[in-house]
Amino acid sequence: MDPFSYLSVLISIILALGMTRVLAGVGEMLQARSRRRLYWVHAVWVVNLFLYLVVAWWIFYRWRNEQPWTFFLFIFVLISPTILYLASIILFPPESAPNEFVDYKTHYYSNHRAFFVLFALFTPVDFLDTLLKGIPHFLALGPLYFISGGLFFAGLAMAAMTRNERYHQCYALIFLVQTIVISFTLFHTLI
């Protein structure tokens, strides 16, 4: 087994735990829907986070040619999936009994700061991650990568600072569109 295959197992497990938490949260929302007051902004962030988990798994493959792997690099590469996993924990209330009432709007605004601070940390970590793959790789992503990263960071930081419902409604949709565009523009291949 090569080093990348060996190390990718733990990273895959952390990303899979995040995906599992998101899917379990959605399952709980569906299973106990009569006792759940859904909030569409929260639902859009569920989709946003799930897409980010998938994209993070997809682009991790770009580390496959790294030689030699150091313990520091491995620990660094664990940061991004850990951020996304922790965000998936915060996005949903703790698992509750199906007969308990859950208001997702209340939960969303009670936890938005922690969720968005974590999510915003992903961007500088991603920039450094991309830079560690080499200057040619970093520059090959072009201005779209830098502009979108800046917009992601600024939008997420603002979402952490404000409770303005209109901002959260608009930004949830903007983030979704931006993630889809960037994913299909920059990350459409495993290369």
The domain segmentation of the chain, as residue ranges, is: 3-186
| pLDDT at site 107 | 95
Supply the pTM of this predicted model. 0.92
Percent of the chain with pLDDT over 90: 70
Residues with Cβ within 8 Å of 4's Cβ and at least 6 positions away in sequence, in order, are 63, 64, 65, 66, 69
pLDDT tens-digit readout, 100-138: 888 999 999 999 999 999 999 999 999 999 899 889 988
Residue 87 CA to residue 65 CA, distance in Å, equals 29
Three-state secondary structure call for residue 37: strand
| pLDDT at site 103 | 93
Q: Is residue 163 predicted with pLDDT exceeding 90?
A: yes
Q: Residue range 168-184: average pLDDT? A: 95
